[in-house]
Chains A and B, each alone.
Chain A
């Protein structure tokens, strides 16, 4: 199980943005995994099963804490709509002088922007950007289509990008 501890923590942290809460979720996840090991059907990969457990626990936690935004994005956009419109270009702030301070500020801004995302968009961006999973793996974990994964990633990236753009513009001003 120690093989999985970092992955479990990282996904939980990506969802809740607090190390203590993420550790509590990781603990709960391992207890749940242990208790339900006999129920693991083997129809999906072990990682898929674990990611699902961690995401569900994280979402439950965020709901309990009232830390999920009430307004969700539309997941039903077509590929053309997803790809249409969206400016991702921005200057990378960490390359600026005073990098340490910038990184901390950028991290805080990113966290705030991610907190504004719905649980599904958060999960998609964590699984893709941190864990590096493919669209099909994310779709299996989140029990949705690959198109929905693309749509969620697109929305999430645009939101985060726009938050960081503001940060860069303020920094440059």
Chain B
């Protein structure tokens, strides 16, 4: 059984229709036997009605006939914006127009780049560090090493970490 104190804590939510069905029914049953809480509710409802009356009276007295012609005139009137205001407006508009597609697209590109940063650019076995091209393969020992000439008179020994045909790793000038 609810007490007056607990009911009054929920009075406004009750009047505003914010209570769950069970809570609402509990309060309604309390109100059947409690004139004090009932008076509180009536007070809130009377205030609501009084306020609505004042606004209704104002709305009934106004005419919206001229509103649209004024709005149209204002919309058609060229606006005097500063260069900066125009710039901000353009940026704002472009952002609003393209953000729904650009933001997810940027997120996808970012995610792809992130994944590539971790798994993509791993140095492959056998890449020659200074980027020099192999002029001539001097000797190949499958599963062990390969001697290459990278410029006339300059040779390198490439040691296989993986079995061929995996690319070779340069171990240094020789």
- Given A30-B67, A90-B43, A157-B47, the answer on whether A107 and B54 have CB atoms closer than 8 Å is yes
Contacts of B70 in A (CB 8 A): 27
Confirm or deny: A51 has a beta carbon within 8 angstroms of a beta carbon on chain B: no
A150-B12 Cα distance, complex, nearest whole Å = 8
Confirm or deny: B57 has a beta carbon within 8 angstroms of a beta carbon on chain A: yes
A50-B54 Cα distance, complex, nearest whole Å = 23
Interface size class of chain B, counting residues whose CB lies under 8 Å from the partner chain: 35 or more
Measured between C-beta atoms, what is the minimum distance from A102 to chain B in Å? Answer: 10
A138-B28 Cα distance, complex, nearest whole Å = 26
Measured between C-beta atoms, what is the minimum distance from A109 to chain B in Å? Answer: 9
CB contacts under 8 Å to B, within A70-100, are 79-80, 82-84, 86-90, 92-94
A12-B65 Cα distance, complex, nearest whole Å = 17
Q: List 11 A-B contacts (CB under 8 A).
A: A1-B68, A14-B55, A19-B58, A30-B71, A31-B75, A34-B71, A80-B9, A107-B50, A128-B16, A130-B55, A161-B44
Residues of A at the B interface (CB closer than 8 Å) are 1-2, 5-6, 9-10, 13-14, 19, 22-23, 26-27, 30-31, 34-35, 38-39, 41, 79-80, 82-84, 86-90, 92-94, 103, 106-107, 110-111, 125, 128-130, 134-135, 150, 153-154, 157, 160-161, 164
Q: For the complex of A and B, list the 4 residue pairs with the smallest distance between their C-beta atoms, beginning with the closest.
A: A83-B9, A88-B43, A89-B39, A107-B54
Residues of B at the A interface (CB closer than 8 Å) are 8-13, 16-18, 36, 39-44, 46-55, 57-59, 61-62, 64, 67-68, 70-71, 74-75, 92-93, 96-97, 100
